[in-house]
Copies of this chain bind each other. A is one copy, B any other.
Amino acid sequence: MLFLVRMDVHIPHDLPADQANDIKAREKAYSQDLQRDGRWPHIWRVVGEYANYSVFDVASNDELHQLLQGLPLFPFMKISVTPLARHPSAI
């Protein structure tokens, strides 16, 4: 079951740099684990913004929320979720 997810990152400028770097490193590892297991099939950078559009493939709303809430950057992101369905013109 597919969902389009947009994430906008806003890290406060007074967060210490090493703390920010640690969060970003953990975020990257967390994301790549999910990409490898097939639940995060697409992640694209929005040009010019500290933001991404992603597609998630999960079994339920609850599973999606657990994945998103577990993101190390979750406290610093605005996330919006759009449920997707099969399009009748898709081949």
Beta-carbon contact of B81 and A48 below 8 Å: yes
With A28-B89, A32-B91, A91-B35 as given contacts, are A44 and B81 in contact (CB-CB < 8 Å)? Answer: no
**What is the copy number of this chain in the assembly?**
10
Determine the residue in chain B with the shortest Cβ distance to A62.
B85
9 shortest interchain CB distances as A-B pairs:
A65-B85, A44-B84, A48-B79, A47-B83, A45-B85, A48-B81, A45-B87, A61-B83, A48-B68
23 CB < 8 A contacts A-B: A1-B62, A3-B83, A4-B44, A4-B53, A5-B48, A13-B15, A27-B89, A32-B91, A35-B90, A35-B91, A43-B89, A44-B90, A45-B88, A47-B81, A47-B83, A47-B85, A48-B80, A48-B81, A61-B84, A62-B86, A64-B83, A65-B85, A83-B83
